[in-house]
Amino acid sequence: MSSYEILKKIFGHNEFREFQEEAVNALLAKRDLLTILPTGGGKSLCYQLPSLMMDGVTVVISPLIALMQDQVTALLKNSIEACMISSFMDREESKSIYSKLLKNEVRLLYISPERMATENFVLFLQKLKINFFVIDEAHCVSEWGHEFRDDYRKLDRIKKFFPNTPVAAFTATATHKVAEDIIKHLSLKEPVFIRGKTFRKNLLIRVKRRIGDGRKQLEEFLKEHKNKSGIVYTFTRKEAEKTAAFLLKRGFRASAYHAGLDKEQRGDVYRDFIYDRIDIVVATVAFGMGIDKSDIRFVVHLSMPKTLENYYQEIGRAGRDGLESEVLLLFSKSDEIKRSMLLEDIENLSYKKTAVKKLAFMYKYALGTSCRHQIIAEYFDDEVQKCKNFCDNCLKSDTEYIDITIEAQKLLSAVYRTGQCFGLKHIIDILRGSANQNILRFNHDKLSVYAIGKDFSKDKWSVIADTLLEISALSLGEHRALKIENEGFRILKKQRDVMIEKERFEIKESVKKPKIDIEYEKNEYFEKFRELRAKIAKREGVPAYIVFGDKTLIELSNKLPVDKEGMLEINGIGEVKFERYGEDFLKLCREFG
């Protein structure tokens, strides 16, 4: 069969996405390959399809067991013989897979980079007919990337032991410097280099200054995404736990996920999310790399990531199926300060310099007033047109400012009169007239500034403090005590004013929504198709998106085919999936037709 016949019959797609065919042809020509495509660009098909057209087995090196399990499950449901080898398997399971491999009965083998580093396993691989190696999340190879891993660095041994076997490296995030490092360290020989555009046309990007802990803003955002799948990222494990508890009390189906949980707990949360038993995972960065769930409709950051690579990869988990999705970043100056403090302990001066530079660009992005998609493209050495209506800056009308000079003077006076020895929480308690133990202990209830700001909420005082940190009127000293800088004294002396966007004091989001131009809109039948998909998924013990993606269901509910021929015209339905699920969905189509 030709690549187009396999594309339709096995994978159910009528045509290749941009750059996919070029990648497939490179592997069929037995060339080394480096492919940089944004999340949702269809990287897995680039190597799964040519594997079906070649003799031997394709070895896929991937960083996460959960990701490998998802990939293998999806391939098996498509009648493609695939398996994985992991440390969680018992001896009999491993023995069975090794036997299949030796009999050339496996098309795709998934392994971790750690396994590739063992001598015995490499010796075993040398007994097999390997058509090509795949390295997923290849940015982990580079020490200039944002997620450098020692086990990935050791993958240079592939070309040492398999010098004539092609290697295909795939990633969603890589600057030119990182790309060059991947090629050099993996010893790729004159590789085909494919680089997709960074622009995600279905992704609405929004960035807001955080008010307080951001939970009220989060709740307002989530009300617009009720019963949809999404990820909320936090800075610490404690914040993940507290935010998940907050959302549960507000009626959202949410769970926390972080490295402090044991493997069983993390596995339970992951499965609950994949199988739609919960809608929201509140997580540290321990969650998400390579997650294969295609119907994630939103990603929220409750604090600023340390690099734009991290941010771009994390927001890329939304809208992988090409349907409208939304991402929100809530940030404050304190995020940048906390991240900077963590970098102080880095001993490698070269690495430290790079990390500081990356953090500075991330903060520049958060503060940026130009098209968000263009700022991201600039960072990754790409060039795109303004999105016009896919980010908050391009949607924004004229910004209204208000004068908060008097309020700034009140806060600075409280800092000054307490000897610049206390943190923000204590200063806000003084301004709001709190009678807590620390206020009384230091006699701060006797200060002239005591209770002069009781008309403002804690959140509003936090926003004012954040503004003063941004303009370098305040800084953080030892134990996070607030210190007044030169700009602060200028404000106290009435030598400069302090202006702030009016929107910063408003919890509700006011940015207008764009009309996303997608091929099909949901109709009254969509939920019925969704219910049928859920029933089949439960029966077969697989995630719903493995049966059919949302995009396929939307097209089905709009076109309502009445026979097999019409069904196979639907994007995402091939011969294999029709044999498995076609009659059930045809029956429903006929009911509505």
CATH number at residue 539: 1.10.150.80
Domain that holds residue 83: 3-195
Q: Is residue 61 part of a domain?
A: yes
How much is the average pLDDT of 476-486? 88
How much is the average pLDDT of 154-170? 94
Which among 168, 195, 222 is the end of a domain? 195
pLDDT bracket for residue 521 (50, 70, 90): low
**425 by DSSP, 3-state: which?**
helix
Long-range contacts for 18-26 (Cβ within 8 Å, ≥24 apart)?
Answer: 18/196, 19/194, 19/196, 20/45, 20/46, 22/192, 22/194, 23/47, 23/168, 23/192, 23/194, 24/49, 24/50, 26/168, 26/192, 26/194
Q: What is the pLDDT, as a whole number, of residue 49?
A: 96
**Domain co-membership, 156 together with 207:** no
Q: What is the pLDDT, as a whole number, of residue 519?
A: 43
**Domain co-membership, 287 together with 217:** yes
Q: Is residue 520 part of a domain?
A: no
Kindly report, residue by residue over 203-224, the tens digit of the pLDDT.
999 999 898 899 999 999 999 9
Q: Is residue 301 part of a domain?
A: yes
**Domain co-membership, 224 together with 356:** yes
**Domain co-membership, 291 together with 391:** yes
> In the predicted model, is pLDDT for residue 403 greater than 70?
yes
**Domain co-membership, 158 together with 220:** no
C-alpha–C-alpha distance, residues 274 and 294, integer Å: 10
**Domain co-membership, 390 together with 443:** no
Kindly report, residue by residue over 2-21, the tens digit of the pLDDT.
999 999 889 888 899 889 99
> In the predicted model, is pLDDT for residue 510 greater than 50?
no
φ, ψ for residue 193, nearest 5 deg: -115, 115
C-alpha–C-alpha distance, residues 495 and 200, integer Å: 45
- With beta carbons less than 8 A apart as the criterion, state whether 374 and 384 touch: yes
Q: Is residue 506 part of a domain?
A: no
How much is the average pLDDT of 36-41? 83
> In the predicted model, is pLDDT for residue 415 greater than 90?
yes
**Domain co-membership, 379 together with 461:** no
Residue whose tokens read 């240079």: 156
Kindly report, residue by residue over 63-87, the tens digit of the pLDDT.
877 778 888 988 998 889 999 998 7
Q: Is residue 191 part of a domain?
A: yes
Q: What is the pTM of this model?
A: 0.78
**Domain co-membership, 130 together with 166:** yes
Residue whose tokens read 């897995």: 44
Q: For the domain that residue 371 is a member of, what is the CATH number?
A: 3.40.50.300
Q: What is the pLDDT, as a whole number, of residue 512?
A: 53
How much is the average pLDDT of 399-407? 89
List of residues 6+ apart from 419 with CB closer than 8 A = none
> In the predicted model, is pLDDT for residue 356 greater than 80?
yes
Q: Mean pLDDT in the chain?
A: 89
**Domain co-membership, 430 together with 293:** no
Please give the helix or strand (H or E) that residue 330 lies within, else none.
Answer: strand 325-331
Question: For the chain, what is the domain count?
Answer: 4
Which residues of 129-241 form beta strands (DSSP E)?
130-135, 167-171, 192-195, 203-209, 229-233
Kindly report, residue by residue over 125-147, the tens digit of the pLDDT.
999 999 999 999 898 888 666 56
pLDDT bracket for residue 344 (50, 70, 90): confident
pLDDT bracket for residue 456 (50, 70, 90): very high
**Domain co-membership, 141 together with 259:** no
Which among 137, 160, 195 is the end of a domain? 195
Q: Is residue 219 part of a domain?
A: yes
Q: What is the pLDDT, as a whole number, of residue 215?
A: 94
Torsion of CA 345, 347, 348, 352, to 10 degrees: 20
Which among 395, 430, 456 is the end of a domain? 395
